[in-house]
Amino acid sequence: MSKTNSQRRSCKDVFNAFLVKKASYDGLFEFPCIWPTQDVPNKLIAFSKALSSKDYNRWVHFFEDDYLFERIWRRPRKYLDILKRFNGVILPDFSLYRDMPFVMQLWNIYRSRAVGHWLQINGVKVIPNVRYGDQRTYRICCDGIAEHCVIAVGSHGAMRCASNRAAFLNGLDVVVRRLRPSAIVIYGTARYKYFAKYTELGIQIVPFESDCAASHKEVV
């Protein structure tokens, strides 16, 4: 019989079990639960920039290339005190591509929730980032997230071509039906014609321009 991780002695915690030591789980794949929040960000800053920033009146986000924040999974304790200085954190946006093996999509959802739970029990305010890939993830991407709370999604790069836009909006429809959020924080494009139907449902849309779009404006 194999031992549990907690029974092993003098062995490296190879899957960061300490992150979910006090977690409750939800759904078939047992994603760690995230406590609900009604907090809405005032300003955002990318994790990679937050590490050297002195402007703490912001929320930290992870809507950037994975290699820039993979370190939060490898060494989360190293960054806890830094993240505590800010107003809060939008959960890590580990990539989910529609052509990824399903198990990898599940793993990246799990990793985001595990980090989020650990941040919460260490006193950091968090907003769950709802990430989905192909249609198989639609039914499980909301597991562990409370209804009627503030959630975040990233639309940056998802609205340019018709197929990506349809996948993003179809998934968001599923999320809204299941969670009925009080507010949706959107990082990236938030054109009225795509999100008006959510506003009509009484959902607050809180858009933030992507860093890429803001930089392009500065150059122009």
Q: Are 23 and 166 in contact (CB under 8 A)?
A: no
Q: Does a structural domain hold residue 150?
A: yes
DSSP letter for each residue of 180-210: --SEEEEES---HHHHHHHHHTTPEEEEE--
142, 118, 139: which is closest to 128 by C-alpha? 142
pLDDT score recorded for residue 220: 43
Residue 3 lies in a domain: no
Q: Which domain holds residue 61?
A: 37-219
Give a yes or no: residue 8 inside a domain.
no
pTM of structure: 0.92
Residue 118 tokens, joined = 């650990």
pLDDT of residue 50: 98
> Which among 34, 45, 128, 112 has a CA at the least distance from the CA of 83?
45
Is residue 195 domain-resident? yes
| Residue position matching structure tokens 């806890």 | 80
Residue 13 lies in a domain: no
Residue 47 pLDDT: 98
For residue 97, CA distances in Å to 107, 120, 132, 204 come to: 12, 27, 8, 27
94 within a domain of the structure (yes/no):
yes
Please state, in angstroms and as integers, the Cα–Cα distance from residue 86 to each residue in 19, 52, 60, 66, 184, following that order.
Answer: 20, 12, 7, 21, 20
CATH number at residue 82: 3.20.20
Number of domains in the chain: 1
Residue ranges in the chain whose pLDDT is less than 70: 1-10, 212-220
Whether 73 is in a domain gets the answer: yes
Per-residue pLDDT of 97-138, as tens digits, reads: 999 999 999 999 999 999 999 999 999 999 999 999 999 999
Within a domain: 14: no
The pLDDT value recorded for residue 21 is 94
